[in-house]
Amino acid sequence: MSDEPTAPSFRSDVTVELVRSAAADSDVIWSARVSTAGEQSLEALQQDPEKSRGLINFLMRDRHGTPFEHNSMTFFISAPIFVFREFHRHRSGWSYNEESGRYRELEPVFYVPSEDRKLVQQGRPGKYEFHEGTPEQHRTTTGAMEAAYRESYARYQEMLAAGVAREVARAVLPVGLFSSMYATCNARSLMHFLSLRTRRENSAVPSFPQREIEMVAEQMEEQWAQLMPLTHAAFEKHGRVAP
């Protein structure tokens, strides 16, 4: 095994993988129909959910939220720590497990914004607009970030080599470091997350999320929409408000 320090690497993307799911439009329908059909609502499992598009739309429009909770999706997400810090504010209907900086040596993978990431912020809090950065601003940003990342990771390794505990040494690592986690949710908690962490013209209540958590949200939404297309369409139709 080599004693050479690991060289930092830099990424501009985030990844989201749906690792496990039990989630379908029919789950919404049978759980809603118990209201009127009792145990016979299970028969709805065999029916074509297309026939129940109207029921799903009604539930979404009138914000009958609980039928959207009888399903589960687990995502494996790799993103910078500053994204997870925002992510973990979502408490209701979410379970998280993240890699540990106490039990393992953290890999030197760091976030740098891509060339199309808007760099310049104008306006006031709550009303910010973001504009393209100049090539010079991009060079400054990438240069500053990479230099800071290299320095902090070298100091981290210096402490580990001196026998300092990982949980102490990690204090020098920045929030641009990549981490990974499992996040499990249901369609209702996911819709609440998407309503806050995506920016869309058709949102009844607009939100202004940081671009990097929106990149995660977009990938989650795409994968969820394939599992529950009628629920996703109703979410879109009714202004992207979680029921």
Q: Would you count residue 240 as binding ligand FAD (CB under 6 A)?
A: no
Tell me which stretch binds ligand FAD (CB under 6 A): 45-53, 86-94, 99-107, 220-228.
86-94
Strand 109-111 relative to strand 9-11: parallel, antiparallel, unpaired? parallel
Does 117 belong to an annotated binding site? no
Q: Which is nearer to ligand FAD, 112 or 196 (CB)?
A: 196
Q: Would you count residue 209 as binding ligand FAD (CB under 6 A)?
A: yes
| Dihedral (CA of 74, 78, 79, 81) sign | positive
> Of 36, 89, 122, 205, which one interacts with ligand FAD (CB under 6 A)?
89
CA–CA gap between residue 114 and residue 84 (Å, rounded): 19
Closest approach of ligand FAD to the CB of residue 209, in Å: 5
> Of 192, 232, 238, 240, which one interacts with ligand FAD (CB under 6 A)?
192
Token digits of residue 7: 């060289």
Q: Contact at 8 Å (CB) between 150 and 8?
A: yes
Q: Label residue 28 left, alpha or beta by phi (over 0 means left) and psi (-120 to 50 means alpha).
A: alpha
Q: Which is nearer to ligand FAD, 89 or 104 (CB)?
A: 89
Give the per-residue SS3 of 223-238.
HHHHHCHHHHHHHHHC
Q: Would you count residue 207 as binding ligand FAD (CB under 6 A)?
A: yes
Q: Would you count residue 185 as binding ligand FAD (CB under 6 A)?
A: no
> Of 92, 102, 121, 127, which one interacts with ligand FAD (CB under 6 A)?
92
CA–CA gap between residue 218 and residue 230 (Å, rounded): 18
Closest approach of ligand FAD to the CB of residue 204, in Å: 15
Query: 197, 199, 200, 240: which one is catalytic?
Result: 197
Q: Is 197 a catalytic residue?
A: yes
Does 66 belong to an annotated binding site? yes
CA–CA gap between residue 222 and residue 237 (Å, rounded): 16
Binding mask 101-140 toward ligand FAD (x if CB under 6 A, else -) reads ----------------------------------------
Q: Would you count residue 90 as binding ligand FAD (CB under 6 A)?
A: yes
Buried b (16+ CB within 10 A) or exposed e, 130-155: eeebeeeebeeebeebeeebeebbee
> Which residues of this protein are in contact with ligand FAD, per CB under 6 A?
89-92, 192, 196, 207-209
